[in-house]
Amino acid sequence: MKVFRNNKKECALDHWNAIETQPISTLTALFENSADRVERFSHEQSGIYFDFSKTHLDSALLENFQQLAADKGLSEQIEALMNGVAINISEGRAAEHTAERGIGAETSVENAGLLRNRMLGLIEAIEASAFGDIEHIIHLGIGGSALGPELLLEALKLGDEKYQTAIISNIDGCALEPVLERFDAHKTLLVIASKSFTTAETFLNARSVTDWMTEQGVVDPFGKIIALTAMPDKAVEWGVDENRVLPFSDTVGGRYSLWSSIGFSVALTLGIDVFDDLLAGAAEMDRHFKDTSFDRNIPVIAAFCDQYYSQVRNCETRAVFAYDERLKLLPDYLQQLEMESNGKSVTADGKPLDRHSSPIVWGGVGTDAQHAVFQLLHQGTHLVPVEFLAVIEPGHSLASEHHHGLLLNCFAQGAALMTGKKSDDPNRNYPGNRPSVTLLLDDLDGKTLGALIAFYEHRTFANAVLLGINPYDQFGVELGKEMANALLAGDGNQMDSSTETLKNRAFPA
Ligand code: F6P
């Protein structure tokens, strides 16, 4: 296994300094001073029009960020990422999600192809009724084993699918119970998605589903289980027949895993062609990220914008608003992708990080959010860089007023944030000069969505490289798990008095 070493000479401090001290124009001045700003500060890639003209980036900032990226070894790190080099240093392994879409070390691409064929074989067997009459699918998983598949299903389902698929993540029975009430146990396939095959929530839910199957008279509930995991032995040990285990490589991170067998329920529900399109769209974005100079490379430019606002303008959050109901789960998905990847306070070599790590990602759907949180965006004291997403082709057949209204509202918000409106009445004054980026998609099909998600993955990686952190581990989640286990085990160790009181109040002795 090749291990990544960054041998670049670091002049990064000089470039940060240049970025931080550069005089800043207002957004309207940037437009006034450059008639072709929109052409120069927008790019088109894989059905995605990326407009960053309403950000404070200008040619000088772009130039300095490119120098910074060069000093940070971004090109070399992209090459390492896509060649199976062990860039996840703390865990001593590669991060090979791109191999799932055919771009990576030869053996990893080959292996991903073989595992994908195995998944195809199982899908064909289900289609050929090898599991009896299946109408319902319960997909259990949490974090990366649920958020990606759920986003894909919500975004791409047409409503006429052969299977009803429920993705259940929460340990709260309020999530699972209604599904059990609605589904027919005899026609249900249980899909357990867990990279580690140890996650407590997933296995409590799995036990409840198998108990429900037994109660409903299913003779062999374990015969209806499919496991998606990087730990096939653990799945077999748990009782899943090895023919029904769909493994994936442990070099594919949980929040980067929707392209692997973790996407099984998506491929089964939406069809393998849609899944293939997703992979093809993502591969197109991989090639763009790998082969395009930084001045035209959209994940890299998006990372420059992110770094500018979080380091120079001290923005602690970034808001993402999808003006498309089908993408309503995108903010949730991005929260895990970006915050679990880049919410760190040490660099890849274990030194304290002396800059802000990932901003807090939040958001919602337009136009709903306009009537809820946009007050703060337009007039609040926090500066929040906003990201708008919209799709040119509507996902419905209602009157065109719906889609016109939706998209024009989206564009109007970006314009209003930028230009503002002066008033002598302070209550009615809009300061403006508030940045936004717009991603306008031609259509919301498998290919474009694949490219969009890969865009976000690579942007997250580019941000990590600019910060010098490892985006592929997540040790921060372990302590909470450990303490929850201690509480569950009731191992006698006293917690703090607040926690003990809460526990005793909820569960009196
Ligand atoms: O607790 C965090 C985490 O490990 C995520 O990184 C991961 O996506 C999720 O839990 C689920 O893990 P698994 O797929 O191993 O069940």
* Structure confidence at residue 2 (pLDDT): 60
> What dihedral angle (degrees, nearest 10) is formed by the CA atoms of 196, 201, 207, 209?
-110
> Which amino acid, one-letter code, is at 431?
P
Chain centroid, CA 312 distance in Å: 25
Atom of ligand 1 minimally distant from the CA of 229:
14
CB of 143 sitting under 6 A from ligand 1: yes
- Indicate which residue of 340, 344, 387, 403 is catalytic: 340
CB of 477 sitting under 6 A from ligand 1: yes
pLDDT band at 265 (very low <50, low <70, confident <90, very high): very high
pLDDT digits (tens, 9 = 90+) for 203-260: 999 999 999 999 999 999 999 999 999 999 999 999 999 999 999 999 999 999 999 9
- Kindly give the residue spans of alpha helices, DSSP state H, lying in 216-373: 232-238, 264-270, 272-291, 298-307, 330-334, 341-342
Please confirm, yes or no, whether 340 is among the known catalytic residues: yes
Ligand 1 center to residue 193 CA distance, Å?
10
Asked if residue 8 has pLDDT above 70, the reply is: no
CB of 260 sitting under 6 A from ligand 1: no
Around 8, how many Cα atoms within 13 Å sit in the side-chain half-sphere?
19
Q: Which helix (H) or strand (E) holds 170?
A: none
pLDDT digits (tens, 9 = 90+) for 340-386: 999 999 999 999 999 999 999 999 999 999 999 999 999 999 999 99
Ligand 1 center to residue 142 CA distance, Å?
6
Ligand 1 center to residue 313 CA distance, Å?
33
- What string of H, E and C letters represents the secondary structure of 77-110? HHHHHCCCCECEHHHCECCCHHHHHCCCCHHHHH
Please confirm, yes or no, whether 72 is among the known catalytic residues: no
CB of 484 sitting under 6 A from ligand 1: no
Phi, psi of 3 (to 5 degrees): -105, 140
- Indicate which residue of 393, 481, 500, 503 is catalytic: 481
Ligand 1 center to residue 116 CA distance, Å?
21
CB 279 within 8 Å of CB 119: no
Ligand 1 center to residue 21 CA distance, Å?
40
Ligand 1 site-directed mutation target among 142, 264, 481, most atoms within 8 Å of CB: 142
* Structure confidence at residue 305 (pLDDT): 98
Angle 455-458-461 (CA atoms, 0-180°, nearest 5)? 150
Asked if residue 491 has pLDDT above 80, the reply is: no
pLDDT digits (tens, 9 = 90+) for 383-409: 999 999 999 999 999 999 999 999 999
pTM of this structure: 0.96
User: What's the order of all strands across the beta sheet hosting 436-441?
Assistant: 42-45, 48-51, 436-441, 386-391, 317-323, 360-365
Ligand 1 center to residue 144 CA distance, Å?
6
Give mean pLDDT, residues 81-104.
97
CB of 254 sitting under 6 A from ligand 1: yes
**Percentage of the residues of the chain whose pLDDT score is greater than 70:** 98
Taking alpha carbons only, the member of 14, 24, 35, 74 closest to residue 304 is 74
d(CA 137, CA 65): 47
- Indicate which residue of 9, 351, 371, 396 is catalytic: 371
CB of 194 sitting under 6 A from ligand 1: yes
The three-state secondary structure class of 165 is strand
Please confirm, yes or no, whether 187 is among the known catalytic residues: no
Chain centroid, CA 3 distance in Å: 26
- The residues near 318 (Cβ < 8 Å, ≥ 6 apart) are 306, 309, 310, 359, 360, 361, 362, 384, 385, 386, 387
Phi, psi of 225 (to 5 degrees): -105, 135
User: What's the order of all strands across the beta sheet hosting 136-140?
Assistant: 164-168, 136-140, 188-193, 225-229, 245-247
CB of 255 sitting under 6 A from ligand 1: yes
* Structure confidence at residue 6 (pLDDT): 57
d(CA 8, CA 76): 9
CB of 142 sitting under 6 A from ligand 1: yes
Residue 107: asked if its preceding bond is cis (omega within 30°), the reply is no
d(CA 203, CA 209): 10
* Structure confidence at residue 120 (pLDDT): 97
Ligand 1 center to residue 23 CA distance, Å?
43
Ligand 1 center to residue 197 CA distance, Å?
9
Asked if residue 9 has pLDDT above 60, the reply is: no
CB of 253 sitting under 6 A from ligand 1: no
Query: Between β-strands 48-51 and 436-441, what pairing exists: parallel, antiparallel or unpaired?
Result: antiparallel
d(CA 477, CA 464): 18
Least-confidence region, from 10-14, 249-253, 271-275: 10-14
* Structure confidence at residue 7 (pLDDT): 52
Around 311, how many Cα atoms within 13 Å sit in the side-chain half-sphere?
22
Cβ atoms < 10 Å from Cβ of 58: 19
Residue nearest to atom 13 of ligand 1 (CA): 194
Q: Radius of gyration (Cα) for the chain, nearest Å?
A: 24
Asked if residue 473 has pLDDT above 70, the reply is: yes
d(CA 30, CA 37): 8
d(CA 199, CA 474): 14
Ligand 1 site-directed mutation target among 196, 203, 229, 252, most atoms within 8 Å of CB: 196
CB of 148 sitting under 6 A from ligand 1: no
Atom of ligand 1 minimally distant from the CA of 257:
8
Residue nearest to atom 5 of ligand 1 (CA): 143
